[in-house]
Amino acid sequence: MAPVKVYAPNMSTAAARVLLCLEEVGAEYEQVPINFATGEHKSPAHLARNPFGQVPALEDGDLMLFESRAIGRYVLRKFKSPGADLLHEDNLAESAMVNVWLEVEAQQYDKVMSLIFYQLIVIPVFYGGKTDEKVVAENLEKLCKVLDVYEARLSKSKYLAGDFLSFADISHIPLTHFFMSSPHASVFDARPHVKAWWESLASRPSYKKVTAAMSSK
Amino acid sequence: MRCRHAQANRSSDRSRKGTCKRSSRTGEDIKEAAGGILSAQAAQKASSEEIKMVVKVYGKAQAVCPQRVMHCLVELGVPFELVHIDIDAMEHKLPEFMSKQPFGQVPYIADGDFELFESRAIVRYLAAKYSDRRHGTPNLLGRTPEERARVEQWMDVEAINYNPWAFPVVLNLFVLPMHGVPENKAEAAAAVEKLDQVLEVYEKHLSKSKYLAGDEFTLADLTHIPATRYVVECCGMGRIFDEKKHVKAWWEDITGRPAWKKVMSFVESGASNYYP
């Protein structure tokens, strides 16, 4: 079986979501860098992979996919093994819970976290601009409300979808990784179950390997 | 079509109670099969289980996300009860509701004892559980791993690339004016432009593919419908769809589906109970 190809720059947090899945299931993959600085993501070659000109895209034989969470599901399903089942699709109720918390991640968590990430990392590092602290403060307040829901949930189960690790947990890793090296990481410390959950994710070999490859520089 | 946004009539659809067609067909089939596989007692159990299998949808009939779930239920032939949540009275922010949906949003559903929220997760669950129930039930998730991946890809496009632009259009051009709250015209205009650009991508794609994920109607198409209907019919933005030949054809096809028309009739009627 030929390795799958992931098209994205090293730093892409959405691509990291896919790489984490590939690492968790032990699938072979190649990374093909896409250079944003030269506008490669809007080139005809890349638009053929992702018509929205976004990253990542994944190539598996004749199949070309985009949208990191859809790619993640495909990878986790294809390379699933008894020791690496992050979707629990053999159990209707469990897989439904995975899907609920994946939607929460995309609709509640990511929306707020990505605005914070944009202010704290993208603007200063990529545009040499200044962080808008008011936007950060507004979104931190929203994030804390979301984390309060997570705290309540994680006081009842070890992971978000239940007592089993799933894609719903893994999907949170890329943006949270950057957030945790910011001065605002203390909002996690104030919530013991959320903190323990994060530390569990951050201790995984997939986390260490994928985040080492991402750089905030 | 005139946009209707009257408060739902809360009276339940009492005349339809007990008319579960599927259970009577099952009973007749069993009787006809000489030396039948199932005993009469087992047949009764299946019948009564079927009548009990009414999914409860907690939400407001006019709201986008409950409509998404109701459409899926109708496509799959699953009976449901809509438990009306009074959004205007902030019922969705009360502790009782938030104990079921911790973000205070509609809908959540109860399928027997099993409860879940987030409409896009709900429709995935319903499609996994209830497809292949009977001949003619559409396959909403794709038939191969590759098809399924394409369904999920376009479901995510709706959630992440499409809805973030549709939502501010509907909010500013429909919801806020309806409540007499000043709207943000600039935000609406910017969102229309973004949505138009996204629809350009859809136009190219739909020139090669009948539906978003392939040759069949799937959840990828279904999840787009409720919010888009508001954009087209209630916000005066039909032109960004009409101007695109393949998008227009796709839109007319998916909103022409009998199941969607049944949802719209159900919403207009103010009923609480739906039986296939």
Which residues in chain A have their CB less than 8 angstroms from residue B167's CB? none
Measured CA to CA, the distance from residue A96 to residue A102 in angstroms comes to 10
Partners of B114 in beta bridges: B111
Tell if the CB–CB gap between B149 and A70 is shorter than 8 Å: yes
Q: How large is the average pLDDT for residues B168-192?
A: 95
Tell if the CB–CB gap between B152 and A149 is shorter than 8 Å: no
Tell if the CB–CB gap between B118 and A153 is shorter than 8 Å: no
For chain A, say whether B160 makes contact (Cβ under 8 Å): yes
Residue B59 has a CB neighbour count (10 Å cut-off) of 26
pLDDT in tens, A187-197: 999 999 999 99
The set of residues, in sequence order, having a beta carbon less than 8 Å from that of A113 and lying 6+ positions away, is A143, A175, A176, A179
Specify the pLDDT at position A126: 86
SS3 of residue A70 by DSSP: helix
For B114, which of A73, A93, A152 is closest by C-beta distance? A93
Cβ burial of B153 (10 Å; 0-12, 13-18, 19+) is buried
Measured CA to CA, the distance from residue A120 to residue A114 in angstroms comes to 10
For chain B, say whether A47 makes contact (Cβ under 8 Å): no
Which residues in chain B have their CB less than 8 angstroms from residue A65's CB? 149-150, 153
Question: What domains does chain A contain, in order, with CATH numbers?
Answer: 4-78 (3.40.30.10), 92-208 (1.20.1050.10)
Tell if the CB–CB gap between B102 and A103 is shorter than 8 Å: no
pLDDT in tens, B111-125: 999 999 999 999 999
Tell if the CB–CB gap between B198 and A52 is shorter than 8 Å: yes
> Between helices A205-213 and A13-25, what is the axis angle to 10°?
140
CB pairs under 8 A between A and B: 76
pLDDT in tens, B202-261: 999 999 999 999 999 999 999 999 999 999 999 999 999 999 999 999 999 999 999 999
**Domain limits, chain B:** 52-137+263-274, 145-257
In one-letter notation, the amino acid at residue B82 is L
pLDDT in tens, B65-84: 999 999 999 999 999 999 99
**Of B93, B109, B114, B118, which to mutate for an interface test with A (greatest number of A Cβ within 10 Å)?**
B118
Sign of CA dihedral A103, B78, B144, B161: negative
Nearest CA in chain B to A47: B201
Indicate the class that CATH gives domain B52-137+263-274: alpha beta
Tell if the CB–CB gap between A107 and B118 is shorter than 8 Å: yes
Measured CA to CA, the distance from residue B96 to residue B125 in angstroms comes to 24
For chain B, say whether A153 makes contact (Cβ under 8 Å): yes
How large a percentage of chain A has pLDDT more than 70? 99
Which is more confident, B254 or B33? B254
C-alpha distance from A213 to closest chain B C-alpha (Å): 26
Note which residues in 1-60 of chain B have CB less than 8 A from chain A: none
CA B140 to chain centre: 12
C-alpha distance from A185 to closest chain B C-alpha (Å): 22
Confidence of residue A214 (pLDDT cuts 50, 70, 90): confident
Nearest CA in chain A to B117: A100
Instruction: Give the residue ranges of DSSP H helices in B1-144.
Output: 21-32, 40-52, 64-75, 95-98, 119-130
Tell if the CB–CB gap between B160 and A149 is shorter than 8 Å: no
Tell if the CB–CB gap between B145 and A149 is shorter than 8 Å: no
pTM of the model: 0.89
pLDDT at residue B30 is higher than 70: no
pLDDT at residue B24 is higher than 80: no
Tell if the CB–CB gap between B157 and A67 is shorter than 8 Å: yes
* Fold topology of B145-257: Glutathione S-transferase Yfyf (Class Pi); Chain A, domain 2 (1.20.1050)
Tell if the CB–CB gap between A92 and B156 is shorter than 8 Å: no
Nearest CA in chain B to A109: B103
User: What average pLDDT does chain B have?
Assistant: 85
For A103, which of B118, B145, B157 is closest by C-beta distance? B118
Task: Say what the ipTM of the complex is.
Answer: 0.96
**Of A42, A62, A66, A67, which to mutate for an interface test with B (greatest number of B Cβ within 10 Å)?**
A67
pLDDT in tens, A175-185: 999 999 999 99
Measured CA to CA, the distance from residue B223 to residue B249 in angstroms comes to 17
Q: What is the largest CA-CA distance in chain B?
A: 72
